[in-house]
Structure 1
């Protein structure tokens, strides 16, 4: 490959995307950045939920196992929408598990054993943190007039609040 072709390829890799959007130029990196943080958190929460799904035990095994599988599937379903929204407005998105680990705010749990009640309580708190992060991103979208991303975030808040409710009810003493 000629030297000029190598330089041209390098320049193109660093060139901004030319995705058409009516958002102001400063809105794109702000909103795409917020979406990438949410996406990293969603992947971290997804994997933690699957971890607990795989390792739950005890007398409520079946109920908790199914609940966690359902919640993990719902989390995974949002990831493509988040990433594609960042791309749709002209931003870039996550590229690797390493990228996720650098951005995630939801902490991993690598313990060999976690009691079922502690699993559900930890996931409940993580989902509460997720709601806080979603609300912050929503405020940013409002500042930039991005009603489409704000609308998506409103749905994700509702979904997270439902996960919180189910996790709360599953651990509540009658």
Structure 2
């Protein structure tokens, strides 16, 4: 067996039957993999802030960020499995996530609680925008199953944005 035949066998073993065209698989898989990288980056940022929370609202913020992180992490398997269901391949490493993620990491030694919440608020707002863009791509290719999943994740991102907005709102008193 030559190298070309061996590579063809490797690719063939990952091919999944789908009625989506090869362009659709390529485009949607690519977009979903970027979203998957974003979800992992946002999950880790939420956990980072959860672990390093301090101050008078510690308990409330600590629990809120843990809840948000769990919700974000819960999307990761569904996204990766959707990529595989349509015949694409998905992320394989932390390095791959780092190449694709659009959210900036926050490696600061200290971040104030309100700055943590504001950063996550803005990231979740951007995530909702990114999810909508991917939904549009799925609509273009007739991938109703991916679009349906994305609709739920948009709603979740908007809810997290709302909670984080309300938690960072300045009191009038």
Same fold (TM over 0.5): yes
For the pair 1:13 / 2:18, whether they are aligned, the reply is no
Which residue pairs with 2:134 in the alignment? 137
- What are the Cα deviations for residues 47-88 of structure 1, in whole angstroms up to 9, with x where unaligned? 000000000100000000000000000000000000000000
CA distance in 1, matches of 2:54, 2:10: 48
CA distance in 2, matches of 1:16, 1:115: 49
Q: In the comparison of the two structures, how many residue pairs are matched?
A: 171
CA distance in 1, matches of 2:137, 2:13: 22
CA distance in 1, matches of 2:76, 2:63: 21
- What are the Cα deviations for residues 106-144 of structure 1, in whole angstroms up to 9, with x where unaligned? 110000000000000000000011111101100100100
TM-aligned CA deviation for residue 7 of structure 1: 5.7
CA distance in 1, matches of 2:149, 2:84: 14
Which residue pairs with 2:94 in the alignment? 97
Which residue pairs with 2:23 in the alignment? 26
For the pair 1:159 / 2:170, whether they are aligned, the reply is no
TM-score by length of 2: 0.94
CA distance in 2, matches of 1:93, 1:143: 21
Which residue pairs with 1:45 in the alignment? 42
Q: Where does structure 2 lack aligned partners over 5 or more consecutive residues? A: none
How large is the RMSD of aligned CA atoms in angstroms?
1.4
CA distance in 2, matches of 1:16, 1:160: 35
Indicate the larger mover: 110-119 or 7-16: 7-16
Which residue pairs with 1:120 in the alignment? 117
Q: Residues 146, 7 of structure 1: CA spacing in aligned structure 2 closer, same or farther, 3 A cutoff?
A: closer
TM-score by length of 1: 0.94
After TM superposition, what 4+ stretches of structure 1 lie above 6 angstroms from structure 2? none
- Give the secondary structure class of the aligned counterpart of 2:22: coil
Which residue pairs with 1:107 in the alignment? 104
